[in-house]
Amino acid sequence: MKSCAVLACLICRASAVLPTGVVSVVGRSLDNGAVTTEYSLLGSQASFGAVPPMGSGVGSDAMSLMVPPAEDELLCGSYAESESSARSAMIVARGGCTFEQKALAAQALGASAIVIHNTLASRYSLNETTGEPIWPQDKFDYDCNFGQATLTDSDMSALSLPYQSYDPTNDSRLSGDTDYSLCVKNDPSFASTCSSQRCLLTGRGNIACCAWDLHVWLYSDPSISHQVAIPAIFITMEQAARLLADLSNNAIHLQVDIHSRPRPSYNLSAMIIWALGVFIAALAAFLSAQDYRDHRKPMHPLPSSSSSAP
């Protein structure tokens, strides 16, 4: 019975981090103001910054979506504090510096919130001492069991290696379900076996494997002394592709709103677990004292077995 329960846990799908936030998106036509697109993206939240209020949908205080300065695509620079009368949320790629550093830079540029999205490029780094690339980690960044392709030498030469900064061209050649993706080109089954439809180079020759595209928790940076006062949220590569495509559509005006997902004021399951724990502790204490209770019982003398003479 126990083995069946363990097996059931192993085959159940689970997210790396529970997405407790939501990015609500609405796009309105620039011609007549009509809503042309509307959807919500679940995201993970941060250990720093403001906690967005619970709710959903785009309200009256919605934010326009903007991108970082062209000279600082990863938003890792230092900026003087500035104020903006218009509410805006900045969308920026992961990598190059810590999450909180990006949020602090966005805040200094006048953003009211920051949306950080996952990228393939952020999984690579460079050893500044040797100049050699540090490749993504097996099972942590990718899993070859869900898709693997061996790229040709000409395919490898089409990529800019090693990754040293965010390179959307490299990312696009390793993404998608068409032959433009080098992994699909070399293994057509890759698009159906890899749910993220993205691959990472492993550093083992020309082998590329299916990349994880999961939510991550935005941890704080202990080296930062300034306080981040804006909310931060993290979305996946798949979610970012949709959001950035809508942002590049010049026919619509895109607005977003960030909320925490609704949650009950009390957790019934936690109360049940607490009550069960108290019951088990009380039962264990009662049963463990059984010997003590037996010892405290009054001792009755056995009847004498003296025999009378005939």
Mean pLDDT of 266-285: 90
Strands 199-201 and 207-211: antiparallel
Show the tokens assigned to 196.
């993220």
How many other C-beta atoms can be found within 10 angstroms of the C-beta atom of residue 281?
A: 10
Q: What is the CA radius of gyration of the chain?
A: 29
What does the pLDDT average to over 33-44? 94
What number is the average pLDDT over the span 234-258? Answer: 94
> What is the pLDDT confidence band of residue 174, given thresholds at 50, 70 and 90?
very high
One-letter amino acid of 188: P
Q: Is the pLDDT of residue 238 over 70?
A: yes
**b/e code 159-193 from CB counts within 10 Å (16+ = b):** beebbeebbeebbebbbbeeeebbbbbbbeebbee
- pLDDT at site 300: 64
What are 50-90's pLDDT values in tens digits? 999 998 888 888 899 999 999 999 999 988 887 776 889 99
The stretch 31-59 carries a mean pLDDT of: 91
Tens digit of each residue's pLDDT (9 = 90 or more) over 283-306: 999 888 887 777 777 666 666 655
Beta bridge partners of 198: 175
pLDDT reported for residue 80: 85
For 230-269, give the secondary structure using H, E and C. Answer: CCEEEECHHHHHHHHHHHCCCCEEEEEEEEECCCCCCCHH
Q: Using CB atoms within 10 A of its CB, is residue 141 exposed (0-12), middle (13-18) or buried (19+)? A: middle
Q: Of all residues in the chain, what percent carry a pLDDT higher than 90?
A: 65
Which residue's structure tokens are 């990312």?
171
Residues 6+ apart with CB under 8 A from 161: 133, 201
What tokens appear for 23 in the block?
A: 């990015």
**Cα–Cα distance between 149 and 275 in angstroms, integer?**
52
The mean pLDDT value of the chain amounts to: 87
170 φ, ψ to 5°? -60, -45
Q: Is the dihedral of CA 224, 230, 234, 239 positive or negative?
A: negative
Q: How much is the pLDDT for 276? A: 94
Q: What is the mean pLDDT of residues 27-38?
A: 92
Contacts of 77 (CB under 8 A, 6+ apart): 69, 105
Count of residues making up the chain = 310
* Residue 234 scores a pLDDT above 90: yes
- pLDDT for position 267: 77
Of the pLDDT bands very low, low, confident and very high (cuts 50, 70, 90), residue 273 is: very high
Query: Percent of the chain scored above 70 by pLDDT?
Result: 88
Confidence tier at 15 by pLDDT (50, 70, 90)? low
For the chain, the straight-line distance linking the first and the last C-alpha, in angstroms and rounded, comes to 69
Q: Is the pLDDT of residue 165 over 60?
A: no
The confidence score (pLDDT) of residue 302 equals 62
**pLDDT grade, residue 141 (50/70/90)?**
very high
Q: What is the pLDDT of residue 263?
A: 80
Residues 205-216: tens digit of each pLDDT: 999 999 999 999
Q: How confident is the model at residue 173 (pLDDT cuts 50, 70, 90)?
A: very high
9 pLDDT higher than 70: no
The answer to whether the beta carbons of residues 109 and 132 sit under 8 Å apart is no
> Which H or E element spans position 65?
strand 63-66
pLDDT of residue 309: 52
Whether the model clears a pTM of 0.85, i.e. scores above it, the answer is no
